[in-house]
Amino acid sequence: MNIKIGVGIEEVLFGMKQEDVIEILGKPDKINYEEKEEGIVYYYNDKMIKLKFDKSDHYKLYSIEVCYQEIIMFNENIFNKLMCEVEDLLKKNGYFKFEYEDYEFFNTLFSEEIWTTFTFEFNKLMSIEFTPLFNEKDERIWPIN
């Protein structure tokens, strides 16, 4: 699977409605209704992805989290890479601003330039969560409406 920054993953694009995603990926293995964030999360076990739909945006797809072993980003398989290797890959592709968080069981690297969070366990990349990009007015840039 290939991550397209700000756009989506493969043929699943940010801004899609739930029925559009189901048409492409089939019925999710699990659906979670988030009361706190007022959204819906679809889980696809075989693809190891989590798709989030936002109620405030008419349930458009606004976040994708991937834990798939064969994930491609910037034409490289990045799963299990070390944090320093992910940083180098981002820098090589023109992204230099990072924020780090250290949690009890994992660490994160966030790049606001591409609205992507990389989660590391045992210093190896385990998941990537990304969203559409934002314009200078802090509005989401939807690849499709």
The distance in angstroms from the start CA to the end CA of the chain is 23
According to the model, what pLDDT value does residue 57 have?
86
According to the model, what pLDDT value does residue 45 have?
96
pLDDT in tens, 18-72: 999 999 999 999 999 876 668 899 999 999 999 999 988 889 999 999 998 889 9
**Cα–Cα distance for residue pair 121/130, rounded to 1 Å:** 18
pLDDT at 142 > cutoff 90 = yes
pLDDT at 102 > cutoff 80 = yes
Q: Is the pTM of this model over 0.75?
A: yes
According to the model, what pLDDT value does residue 35 have?
64
Contact 31, 39 (CB under 8 A): no
